[in-house]
Structure 1
Amino acid sequence: MIGTGTGVAPFRGYLRRMFMESVPTFKFGGLAWLFLGVANTDSLLYHDEFTKYLKDYPTNFRYDIALSREQKNKNGGKMYVQDKIEEYSDEIFKLLDNGAHIYFCGLRGMMPGIQETLKRVADQRGENWDEKLSQLKKNKQWHVEVY
């Protein structure tokens, strides 16, 4: 799950379903990984809730934040969610190759930077990003809700 700002709200719903609700016919056993990008610490929505999931479900939840006005990326520029995606790209690509779903929610302006990063990473791995993206969409693993 990759979200910016208030785009994290749907992911909060997913996570509450996975970790807080008692559903007799459902027990989440996978990995939920949230990347959240905001300007600064004061803008972190639901942070206490997400850090509680980290404590209570350490094998089922990961949470990485990108604070564009407080953190620097590896090149000394602002830290955005795509920088976090690049940092963990080997793991992310492996998860996608094994059937994981990837969800994006937030401002439409986040997608070009993310897609450029994913293409660059795919190229570095010797993969064709257009083919990979096409396959992810065909497999219904690629979900985008931007505004």
Structure 2
Amino acid sequence: MGVPYSKSLLYDDEHQTYKKAFPDQFRYDYAVSREQKNAAGQKMYIQTKMAEYAEELWDLMQDEKTHVYMCGLKGMESGMVECFGPIAEKNGLVWTEFAKAMKKADRYHVEVY
């Protein structure tokens, strides 16, 4: 989840409850842009947080039980391309086509404005 300030975190209590109840099946992380820095010392945005786990996230997306939920500013979609485009290409795929297939399988859920 990405937010500008930690006081803006949504559903943190629920995330903690799910993590406690399902430690091997539920994982979450936050990108708090005005409070955290990435390895290059820049603001931590959701795409930079995802990049830290890109290979692991890509592997998870290969599992048909994995769902991706993205909600927020439309610009976040370009962050997905930036993060997963090179990995998809390395695996002989095109990210946009892979994302379309996930959407068709009802595993990629996007609500942006």
TM-score (structure 1 length as normaliser): 0.64
Which of 20, 27, 49 is matched with 1:62 structurally?
27
Give the length in aligned residue pairs.
112
1:84-104 deviation digits (Å, cap 9, x = unpaired) = 221112221112112122121
Given the alignment of the two structures, is residue 112 of structure 1 paired with residue 99 of structure 2, yes or no? no
Match of 1:74 in 2: 39
Amino acid paired to 1:48: D
Higher relative contact order (CA 8 A, sep 6+): 1
- Bigger CA radius of gyration: 1
Q: Which has the higher strand share?
A: 1
TM-score (structure 2 length as normaliser): 0.80
Which of 103, 109, 113 is matched with 1:143 structurally?
109
- The alpha-carbon deviation at position 68 of structure 1 amounts to 0.5
Given the alignment of the two structures, is residue 91 of structure 1 paired with residue 56 of structure 2, yes or no? yes
The answer as to whether partners of 1:37 and 1:65 remain within 8 angstroms in 2 is: yes
The answer as to whether partners of 2:68 and 2:108 remain within 8 angstroms in 1 is: yes
Gaps of 5+ in 2: none
Identical positions, percent: 46
The answer as to whether partners of 1:67 and 1:79 remain within 8 angstroms in 2 is: yes
Q: State the superposition RMSD in angstroms.
A: 2.1
1:103-133 deviation digits (Å, cap 9, x = unpaired) = 2112223222232222133345554323323
Q: Relative to 1, partners in 2 of residues 1:98 and 1:70: Cα closer, same or farther, differing over 3 Å?
A: same
